[in-house]
Structure 1
Amino acid sequence: MIRPKLSLRRPLAILGAALIGLTGVVAVATPASAHHTTITATADCDRLTGERVITWKVENSETNKDATLQTVTTNPDTPVNVLSDSAKSAPLQGYVIDQGSSVTAVQRVPGDTTTANLKVYAEWLVDGVKTADNTKDETITLGADKACAPAPKCVEVDKATYSHTFDGPKGTATVKLDGDLPLCGEGKQWFTLVSYFAPRPQFATPQYVYGTPDTDWVGGTQTEITLNVEIPDCHTQVDLIWGGKDEVIDELVDGGKRYGDKKLGSPGAPGSRSKGPQGWYNGGSKSCTTPASTFASNCDGSVAVSLSNDGKISKYAVEFEVKGENGFSKKVSVPAGKADTSIVVPAADAGKIEVLVDGKAVENGTYSWQRPEDCPLPAVTTKADCKNFALTATNPEGGLPVKATFSYDGKTETRTVAAGASETVTFEAGKDKTAIVALPDLDMELEAIYTPEGNCGGGGAGGEEPGLPVTGAATGGIIAGALLLLAAGAALFVVARRRRVRFTA
């Protein structure tokens, strides 16, 4: 039995017959005897047709007589044709082998054939008279474990492999079909690149699709694609996945669906069918929220704090912390797209105020109380006679306590005036015509004119020289003037410097 070594070389067409390069030869020799033939064979696989190609060689043992192959039988029963230098091939049966020579013939059998047999009956003639005959057959084993199949002209979609590139920070990727063969038929393989808003620069949930995923397919003459997506200007995740838009998960939530091995470059299928870097990225340097704060000072020293979470990239609730320098602290969670105006820092706890997110102050998130310009100011009234000069400071309700310093005729007294209350200081009438009431908390000074009621004769402050009469008209004018000043609250000339209130956000 012949057991040839098989190869996979492409057949060489010779004169119209596609022949296979022979990679192994197994010869079976019949023991030397008179008038016999010897058969050897080789086999190969024709990848164009998927057939086994057997090359039979039959030798004539006689060096002085021609041998005629009268009968040729094959199994499988397919034609066996002699190789020829002419354009035509002839059947092996009936062929005359010259003395001391041989003939080579080719037989094609199905690719799944495991064995093949050639049987020849030869006659030797002298002057047309048969002098001897011989029958010889031989079998070749073709190797059932290596069935011959046609070379593929395309690759099935479910067998195709790919290679890819991926740049997560830039939001770009390419996917290319491996090899030179296209996908078979109308087959297409889709791939998609998608980016997300993310709460952290590492994997965390929830995540929300940003923009429009980019999807395309490989198939037909299109063997390579390029994908691009926009990246949010904040924490993000970018995934290159196996499949079309119907595979995109709009929201990645805790306990929800995941892409798993659908990501290209994954260790398992289908992602492992594409070779390249891991097709996923987590990063970004900024939060996907836009926390902001504004401040408004109240006349009573408290500060109203407004918190907002409604910027262009706000996708998550923000946990704010409002802290006052004097011990105030409150935390508030503000949903995406919302604001909170409920926080008021009391005057006693305010000082420097900070608004924090994740332990860091938000932009323009520090503030100190500033007196609003529309707050009512304290008022000073006077009451004077020939012996005393009384000064009264009144602080309106709804404000802060104020410090008032009263100065007259070289004497000074200080009082703290509560909101909604008054404080009075009485000085003994002296020679000075004016008194000063300073309100240092407000950067104000008020000047009061000493104008006593009645006629203070005898040289007292504000009076006439002793013994000199005061005319009625003059007296009436003084009284009328005094009443007018009292009605106005006092004869006061106010010099005030107010600080402007500036809000920061």
Structure 2
Amino acid sequence: MIRPKLSLRRPLAILGAALIGLTGAVAVAGPASAHHTTITAVADCDRLTGERVITWKVENSERNKEVTLKKVTADPSTEVTVPVKGSKAVPLQGSVIPKGGSVLAVQRVPGDTKSAKLTVFGKWKQNGQEATNDGSINLAADSSCAPTPKCVDVNKAKYSHTFDGPKGTATVKLDGDLPLCGEGKQWFTLVSYFAPRPQFATPQYVYGTPDSNWIGGTQTEITLNVEIPDCHTQVDLIWGGKDEVIDELVEGGKRYDNKKLGSPGAPGNRSKGPQGWYNGGNKSCTTPASTFASNCDGSVAVSLSNDGKISKYAVEFEVKGENGFTKKVSVPAGKADTSVVVPAADAGKIEVLVDGKVVENGTYKWERPEDCPLPVVTTKADCKDFALTVTNPEGGLPVKATFTYGDKNETRTVAAGKSETVTFKASKAESALVSLPDLDLEMEAVYTPEGNCGGGGAGGEEPGLPVTGAAAGGIAAGAIALLIAGAVLFVIARRRRVTFTA
């Protein structure tokens, strides 16, 4: 901030004293003789360094004599220099002020300096006159000068947010252009609940998995999403990570209070936006509920829940598999049970019943998960034999494999974590077919033996180009295996087989 400056001469001393109290930052010059210097000052703040930059103006009272500044004393005692365009600044002490002229000098002081004073001793050569004069500037009226921040402290940062409770979405953004300082991170979490009514009521139980993320470093904005139950619900956008989530909201229990973004108090009020909480839903939540998850090994994990919004009593579930599996589980109100796993052999159609009736969405049949690894086929061929191997990864189901070469075929069942190999005598057939009907896959391999088989293929004839035909299965993502010892390349395809020659 540039401070007002005022040159005071002896006849105006009384008026100047009054102005000091009004302006808060005035430079004063007190002439000691007819020959004198007048000193005034203005100040500004250097936001890059956090220093006060004082510009002192020293004027020569004599219009026909130069004055040499023999001694300069500053308080605070930092350097006072005269800027020189195109060159390095020179000290104010020793400077010569021309007749009736002035000189500007710059002094840097700490940003919290309350006042500064400059005293100069000047000498006029022609008549040997000397004078000591001083000037001062009051900086107390200004706020402390501080450097422009390069980041914002995580405990002082402000945010803005959006919130859509019915859709279970929210965003949080760091305000301003500055990142959080250092390794600071601020977590936010979106959580949804089962609720007994469309208005706030207890008990409530967390539905699904809360979504939690943080702002820090170069990550200045996040998006959060949670699944919403198809019934009465509460959705909350809260300050903090998943460790802040209250699993059960019960009568007289813990509450989020001002941790909800958009709250009137801290810390929620450090984010601007709509209220970060929602109560709604257009139907009552079903008391008994079940969910299913297929495993690669053919088993099905059954999750049973009793959210306790209709009754305070435990619910007796019965889980039945089409092939003879049955298990009864009692789930207390407001609790869930994930212990039921229907084995692959007993699965088939699965039903979850309460009091002999299938609960809503309580039927299921195993479906192969998309992330289950596919079997791998490798080959090895020479002038006499053509060997094909199917390897079934661990953790999956046994797979039936049919190997066809020429007019010969064999079928094997490959257990999980095992391999099965079929070796055919080399013939004029140029390719073999491996079918995996359980997975609706077919794989065609071109017979390309290693070495020189007498200038021709098996049977003494030159092998022809591979033939690609329509497959009985559907199109699928495949696996390609190149066996270095063989030099046969496989491409797995669903509903169409593709062959390549090595």
Q: TM-score by structure 2 length?
A: 0.54
**Residues 28 and 134, structure 2, Cα contact 8 Å, conserved in 1:** no
Aligned to 1:41: 41
Report the residue type matching 2:158 in the other structure. Answer: T
Q: 1:208: which partner in 2?
A: 205
- In structure 1, C-alpha distance between the alignment counterparts of 2:313 and 2:27, rounded to whole Å: 90
Alignment pair present for 1:316 and 2:308: yes
Counterpart Cα distance in 2 of 1:31 and 1:252: 79
Report the structure number with the largest CA radius of gyration: 1
Which secondary structure state, in structure 2, belongs to the residue aligned with residue 182 of structure 1?
A: coil
Q: Match for 1:71: what amino acid?
A: K
Q: For 1:25 and 1:168, how far apart are their aligned partners in 2? A: 55
Tell me, in whole angstroms, the C-alpha distance in 2 between the residues paired with 1:49 and 1:78.
15
User: Which deviations, in whole Å up to 9, do the C-alpha atoms of 1:39-71 show, x marking residues without a partner?
Assistant: 010111111111111110000111111110011
Native 8 Å contact 2:231 2:283 kept in 1: yes
CA apart distance, 1:144: 6.4
Task: Choose the corresponding residue for 1:151, options 137, 148, 151.
Answer: 148
Whether 2:263 is the aligned partner of 1:266: answer yes
Change (3 A) 1:337 1:248: farther
What's the counterpart of residue 163 of structure 1?
Answer: 160
> 2:229 corresponds to which residue?
232
SS of aligned partner of 1:212: strand
Q: Secondary structure in 1 aligned to 2:146? A: coil
CA distance in 2, matches of 1:98, 1:163: 60
The one-letter code of the counterpart of 1:284 is: G
* Aligned partners of 2:192 and 2:233 also within 8 Å: yes
1:68 aligns with 2:68: yes
Q: Structure 1 segments of 4 or more deviating over 6 A? A: 310-313
CA–CA distance in structure 2, aligned partners of residues 240 and 55 of structure 1: 53
Distance 1:79 1:311 in 2: 77
Q: Which amino acid aligns with 1:250?
A: D
Structure-2 separation of matches of 1:28 and 1:94: 22
The C-alpha deviation readout for 1:353-402, integer Å capped at 9, x for no partner, is: xxxxxxxxx99xxxxxxxxxxxxxxxxxxxxxxxxxxxxxxxxxxxxxxx
Task: Report if aligned partners of 1:165, 1:175 keep a CA contact under 8 Å in 2.
Answer: yes
Aligned AA for 1:94? Answer: G
Q: Call closer, same or farther: CA 1:337–1:280 in 2, change over 3 Å.
A: farther
Query: 1:12-51 counterparts in 2 under 5 A?
Result: 26-30=26-30, 34-51=34-51
Q: Give the 3 Å change call, closer, same or farther, for CA 29–110 of structure 1 in structure 2.
A: closer
Within a 5 Å distance, the mapping from 1:374-389 to structure 2 comes to none
Q: Percent identity?
A: 73
Q: CA deviation at 1:125?
A: 1.2
Distance in 2 (CA, whole Å) between partners of 1:184 and 1:244 is 19
- With over 3 angstroms needed to count, the CA separation of the structure-2 counterparts of 1:202 and 1:145, relative to structure 1, is same
8 A contact 1:119–1:137 mirrored in 2: yes
Unaligned runs of 5+ residues in structure 1 are: 7-22, 293-309, 320-332, 340-361, 364-505
2:107 matched residue in structure 1 = 107
Residue 190 (structure 2) pairs with residue 193 (structure 1)? yes
3-state SS in 1 of match to 2:84: coil
Distance (whole Å) between structure 1 residues aligned to residue 305 and residue 233 of structure 2: 12
Asked whether the 8 Å contact 1:154–1:183 carries over to 2, the reply is yes
1:34 positional shift: 2.8
Taking the TM superposition and a 5 Å limit, the aligned residue runs for 1:48-63 are 48-63=48-63
* Partner Cα separation in structure 1 for residue 58 and residue 261 of structure 2: 58
Q: Does 1:84 align with 2:84?
A: yes
CA contact (8 A) 2:27 2:137 kept: no
- Residue in structure 2 matched with residue 135 of structure 1 by the alignment: 132
Amino acid at match of 1:96: V
Task: Assess if the C-alpha contact under 8 Å between 1:113 and 1:144 holds in 2.
Answer: no
Q: Is the 8 A contact 1:290 1:311 kept in 2?
A: no
**SS state at 2:59 partner:** strand
Residues in 2 aligned to 1:257 and 1:337: alpha-carbon distance in whole angstroms: 29
Partners of 2:57 and 2:142 in 1: CA distance: 25
SS of 1:261's partner is helix
CA distance in 2, matches of 1:29, 1:158: 47
What amino acid maps onto 2:118 in structure 1?
L
Aligned length: 291
- Deviation of 1:291 after TM superposition, in Å, equals 7.9
Q: Deviations over 1:110-164 (max 9, x none)?
A: 11211111110111113xxx52111101221111662221121111111111110
Distance 2:303 2:179 in 1: 48
In structure 2, the residue matched to 1:250 is: 247
Q: Is the 8 A contact 1:289 1:313 kept in 2?
A: no
**Partner Cα distance (1:183, 1:156) in 2:** 6
Question: What are the superposed Cα offsets for residues 181-230 of structure 1, whole Å, 9 maximum, x if unpaired?
Answer: 11111000000000011111111111111111000001011111000000
CA contact (8 A) 1:24 1:42 kept: no
What are the equivalent positions in structure 2 for 1:427-446 lying under 5 Å apart? none
**Change beyond 3 A, Cα 1:229–1:291:** closer
Q: CA RMSD in A?
A: 2.9
In structure 1, what is the Cα distance between the partners aligned to 2:51 and 2:231? 62
Separation (CA, whole Å) in 2 of partners of 1:53 and 1:275: 37
